[in-house]
Amino acid sequence: MASTFAALATKALYRLNDSAQKCWTAAEIAGYIARGAQQFAEETRCAYGISELRLLTNVSVYDLPPRIMTIERVSWDNKDLAPLYTTDLESSYPNFETDTGQPLAYVLDKDGFRKIRILNLPDAESATIPIMIEGIETGAVFSSPTVGTVNLSGRQERYCIDFAMAIALDREGPGQDLGLADHYKGRFARGTGRAKIHMTHLESNQTRAIGVGALGTGLSEGYGDTLYPRLPFNYVVIDPRGRRGRRGRMS
């Protein structure tokens, strides 16, 4: 279960030895924690989620779900919607703002920041099925310490506490300690770096490297050849004139 901002602020204050909130308030620390979570998710792109967008009949412009940071896929009824640019639509499909029907595409560059326009305008039947927006999510949507949770795992919450402590110790006033602040910043950076490695871990994991072999190798795809020698009769030669033969170069 993800922790609330307030719970993490309490932990950070305890570690700052200021549970009495003489130097820093819980609300201030909770804000720093949210900033840490946002920065962590932005740098590592570790939070992937699917949000639902409920359609309304004959309404084409909607606010993007607050957690979505980068869109990877928009679908309706399990069909991909095509991402389009307004300039292209204006020249090739002038009625795109008024035509109704099933959703086929979406536009992000027409109606302002964090607005999505759905084409066609959903009719009454289409509006019963929601749009699904998949993408990289932010680490926190913060309004107050008691509302919402950090959108990261338990271990990663620890790095948000480090971030909050770094900002708190860096701040002018009682409790300031620049050396320690730098150190906690370093810890946050260490955690971010590690999460980035974990994000790419699947690409390089051992099953692929040794047991299965890489994709993109034609017929051997999925059946790695790492433990068998490649003998001359296995060689496939690519002839510059387009013919296949056995002349030296391995595929």
Partner 1 sequence: MPTPLTLRNAVSSMELRLRASGNAFYSRQDLIDAFNDGIEELAEATGFCERFGTIPFVSGRRLYDMRTSSLRQPVGTEDDADGFGFTVAEFTRLLAPAIPPARALSRIDGDISISEGIKALSVSFSAAGNNAIGLPWSEYLYPLHCWNPQTSRWLIPVAISDLQRIGGPNWRAITGEPYYYYQQGQWNIGLFPTPNASSNHAVTTNLVVLFFAALPTRLISDMEQVIGLPDEYSLGGEEWGLYDLQCQEAEYKKALRNLGTYNAIEAKLKLAVSRLRLAQSRAFGVQQLPRFGATFPFGNL
* Residues that bind partner 1 in the complex, under the rule CB under 8 A: 15-17, 44-50, 72, 78, 80, 134, 136-137, 153-155, 158, 177, 179-180, 183-184, 194-195, 198-199, 201-203, 205-212, 215-216, 219-228
210 or 236: CB nearest partner 1: 210
Query: At its nearest, how many Å lie between partner 1 and the CB of residue 175?
Result: 10
Tokens in use for 184? 């906690």
Please give the full DSSP string across 90-140, using - where no structure is assigned. Answer: HHH-TTTTT-EES--EEESSSS-TTEEEEESEE-TTGGGS-EEEEEEEPS-
Closest CA to 121 of 79, 56, 55, 60: 60
Query: At its nearest, how many Å lie between partner 1 and the CB of residue 158?
Result: 7
Closest CA to 38 of 72, 73, 66: 66
Q: Hey, what amino acid is at 91?
A: S
Query: At its nearest, how many Å lie between partner 1 and the CB of residue 188?
Result: 13
Tokens in use for 110? 């027409």
Query: At its nearest, how many Å lie between partner 1 and the CB of residue 97?
Result: 27
Q: How far is Cα of residue 51 from the mean position of the Cα atoms in its chain?
A: 13
Q: How many CB atoms lie within 10 A of CB 142?
A: 18
17 or 144: CB nearest partner 1: 17
42 or 97: CB nearest partner 1: 42
80 or 99: CB nearest partner 1: 80
Closest CA to 121 of 59, 52, 63, 79: 59
124 or 210: CB nearest partner 1: 210
230 or 246: CB nearest partner 1: 230
25 or 224: CB nearest partner 1: 224
Query: At its nearest, how many Å lie between partner 1 and the CB of residue 162?
Result: 10
Q: Return the beta strands (E) in the chain as ranges.
A: 48-53, 61-63, 68-76, 79-80, 82-84, 100-101, 105-107, 115-119, 121-122, 131-137, 237-238, 244-245
Residues linked to residue 136 through DSSP beta bridges, in sequence order: 48, 70
